[in-house]
Amino acid sequence: METIQSYLNQHDPEVAAVLDAESIRQKSTLSLIPSENYTSMAVRLALASSFTNKYAEGYPYFWENGERSMQKNGRYYRGQANTNDIERLAIERALKLFTPNPQAYHANVQPLSGSPANLAVLHAFLKPGDTFLGLSLDYGGHLTHGHRVNITGASYRAVSYRLNADYELDYDEIRELARLHSPKLIICGATAYPLQIDFQRLGEIAREAGALLVADIAHICGLCVTGHHPHPFPHADLVTTTTHKMLRGPRAGLILCKKELGPAIDQAVFPGLQGGPHMNTVAAMAIAFREAMSEDYKMYAGQIVRNAKTLAEVLQAEGFSLMGGRTENHLLLLDIVHSDNGLAAKDGHWLSIRWERAGLIANKNAVPGDKKPWYPSGMRLGTPAVTTLGMKEVEMRQVGDWIVRATRGADNDAELERIRVEIASMMERFAPRQFV
Ligand SMILES: *Cc1c(COP(=O)(O)O)cnc(C)c1O
C-alpha cells in the first residue's frame, strides 16, 4: 500500500491527499453503519486490476434449451478469453455459496449494485403498472421495494406492507394484501429490520397468490450462507443481494434464481438495464465468494450476531428503546427520541452529527410514525465492520459505553473530544493496515 500511495502522490497529489485523508478517517473512527465493511487486500487489488480496461457486453455462454452452454462465447466484442474465465468462475462460486443445488439455479453477477439488481428483477417479470408487494420504507424496507420517489414505485403499482405494533413482520397482513391485490411478485428483505425473516411462510403466501417471491438479502446474506439466519432458498424464486455489505466484497449486486428464470434475468440485466459489466468488480466478487466459503467467515458471521446482541444488552440496560425489543441479526434500531432514560435526543439527524464528533459513525433512520425523513427519531447500528476488525463482546461493551456517553454528553464538545481520542486509541489496536 505504501508504494501505491507514493505513486499516487507523485501522479496526482490533489487526489492522493483526499484518498489519504479517507484512509486516516477509516482508521481512526468506528464504523457502526450496518451496511459497511472492510474488504480484504485481495478484493482491493482485483478492483484495481487490468480488467477495468475491458468491455465485455454479453455473457460468457448462450442459453440453449434451458441450459447454459458454457463453452460458447456470448460476448459482443472480441478479446474475451479472460473475461469469460473470470465470469464463469464468479458464477460457479456464487452458485456454490448461495444455492442448495448449483445445477438447479442460475447466478447473474453483472448488476452494478443492489438497486440495479432489484430493478432488473422487476423489469424481467413485470410490465409498467403491474402490481408487486414490498415492505414500506418507513418500516425498514428499501427504496427499491416500491417507494414512490424510486423508479420501482413510479413505474409499477407498489403495495406496501408494514410491521405490527411489536415491530415484527405481520405475515397475516401480507397474506391479506396478497389475496386482495394479486401481485405478480412479492419482495421481502429489509435495510433496517433487526429480526429474522420467515422465508418459508412468505414462500407459502407467494405460491398461494401465484406470485414470485424475491428475497433481497443485501444486509443479511452472510448470515444466510453460514446458517445464522434461515436461508431464502428453496422458498424464494429469486434472491438479490449486494456484495459489499456483510459479504465484504466489491460494491456490486448479485441475482440468484431458479434456473428456469435465468434467461429472463440475464435479458433484463443486459441489454434490458445495463451495458458493459464491470469485469474488475466481477473478479473481486469471485474472490469475496471464496473468502465467504471459509471457516473463518463462518466464525465471523457468528461473532457479528454475538456482538450485536451484546451491544443491544448494554444499550437496553441503559434504558435505550430498541425497535422490535431485541436483535436477531447484525443490526439494532434505536428510538433515540422516545427512549425513556433521560437521554432523549432532539432527532437522529442532530445526534448522528454529534456522535460523529466523537468518532462514532452511524446513521439516522426513520422509525414508524416519523413525518420528516431528514429528521427521523431513530439511529441504526450494526456490527459487521467492527467484527471484521476483530472486535468481540468486551469491545462491544466499551462501544455501548461510548454511545451512552456521547448521547448524554451530546451538547458537550469536551466530552465528545475525549471519546474521539479514546476511540482513535482503540482503533490503533484494531485497524490493521491492510484494511484501509
Ligand atoms: C443496500 C440495499 C440495497 C441497495 O444496494 P445499493 O448497492 O446501495 O444500490 C437493496 N436492498 C437492500 C435491502 C439493501 O439494504
Ligand 1 in reach of 348 Cβ (< 6 A): no
Ligand 1 in reach of 189 Cβ (< 6 A): yes
**Quick check: is 55 catalytic?**
yes
CA separation for the pair 198, 202 (Å, rounded): 7
Ligand 1 in reach of 218 Cβ (< 6 A): yes
Ligand 1 in reach of 219 Cβ (< 6 A): yes
Structural domain includes residue 103? yes
Closest CA to 404 of 310, 315, 274: 315
Q: What's the 3-state SS for 267-283?
A: HHHHHHHCCCCCHHHHH
pTM value > 0.95: yes
CA separation for the pair 38, 431 (Å, rounded): 10
Structural domain includes residue 27? no
Task: Determine the distance separating the centroid of ligand 1 and the alpha carbon of 376, expressed in angstroms.
Answer: 20
Examine the domain organization and report whether 235 and 305 are in the same domain.
no
Examine the domain organization and report whether 76 and 216 are in the same domain.
yes
Task: Determine the distance separating the centroid of ligand 1 and the alpha carbon of 365, expressed in angstroms.
Answer: 15
Which residue of the set 36, 87, 216, 335 is catalytic? 216
Last residue of a domain, one of 292, 325, 352: 292
Could you tell me the residue range of the domain that residue 164 belongs to? 43-292
CATH of the domain at 299: 3.90.1150.10
CA separation for the pair 417, 386 (Å, rounded): 21
For 94-148, the pLDDT digits (tens) are 999 999 999 999 999 999 999 999 999 999 999 999 999 999 999 999 999 999 9
Examine the domain organization and report whether 264 and 349 are in the same domain.
no
Examine the domain organization and report whether 311 and 261 are in the same domain.
no
Examine the domain organization and report whether 110 and 160 are in the same domain.
yes
CATH of the domain at 153: 3.40.640.10
Q: What's the 3-state SS for the chain?
A: CHHHHHHHHHHCHHHHHHHHHHHHHHHHCEECCCCCCCCCHHHHHHHCCHHHHCCCCEECCEEECCEEECCCCEECCCCCHHHHHHHHHHHHHHHHHHCCCHHHEEEECCCCCHHHHHHHHHHHHCCCCCEEEEECHHHCCCHHHCCCCCHHHHHCEEEEECECCCCCECHHHHHHHHHHHCCCEEEECCCCCCCCCCHHHHHHHHHHHCCEEEEECCCCHHHHHCCCCCCCCCCCCEEEEECCCCCCCCCCEEEEEEHHHHHHHHHHHHHHHCCCCCHHHHHHHHHHHHHHCCHHHHHHHHHHHHHHHHHHHHHHHCCCEEHHHCCCCCEEEEECCCCCCCCCCCCHHHHHHHHHHCCEECEEECCCCCCCCCCCCEEEEECHHHHHCCCCHHHHHHHHHHHHHHHHCCCCHHHHHHHHHHHHHHHHHHCCCCCC
Give the pLDDT confidence score for residue 3 in this predicted structure: 74
Give the pLDDT confidence score for residue 371 in this predicted structure: 87
Q: To 5 degrees, how large is the angle CA 221–CA 302–CA 431?
A: 90
Structural domain includes residue 335? yes
Instruction: Mark the ranges of the chain whose per-residue pLDDT is less than 70.
Output: 1-2, 432-436
Examine the domain organization and report whether 371 and 288 are in the same domain.
no
Give the pLDDT confidence score for residue 340 in this predicted structure: 72
Ligand 1 in reach of 114 Cβ (< 6 A): yes
Which residue of the set 54, 68, 75, 245 is catalytic? 245
| 159 within 8 A of 133, measured Cβ to Cβ | yes
Last residue of a domain, one of 241, 264, 292: 292
Which residue of the set 251, 258, 357, 408 is catalytic? 251
Measuring from atom 3 of ligand 1, which residue has the nearest CA? 114
Query: Beta 363-365 vs 212-216: how paired, if at all?
Result: unpaired
Ligand 1 in reach of 35 Cβ (< 6 A): yes
Total number of domains in the chain: 2
Measuring from atom 8 of ligand 1, which residue has the nearest CA? 114
Task: Determine the distance separating the centroid of ligand 1 and the alpha carbon of 71, expressed in angstroms.
Answer: 33
All three cell numbers of 115: 438497486
Which residue of the set 55, 76, 171, 375 is catalytic? 55
**Quick check: is 375 catalytic?**
no
Examine the domain organization and report whether 402 and 299 are in the same domain.
yes
Name, in order, each residue with C-beta under 8 angstroms of 407's C-beta and a sequence gap of 6 or more.
336, 343, 345, 351, 355
Last residue of a domain, one of 292, 318, 342: 292
Q: Measured between alpha carbons, how far apart are the two ends of the chain, in Å?
A: 9
Structural domain includes residue 433? no
Give the pLDDT confidence score for residue 433 in this predicted structure: 58
All three cell numbers of 167: 415491530
Task: Determine the distance separating the centroid of ligand 1 and the alpha carbon of 291, expressed in angstroms.
Answer: 21
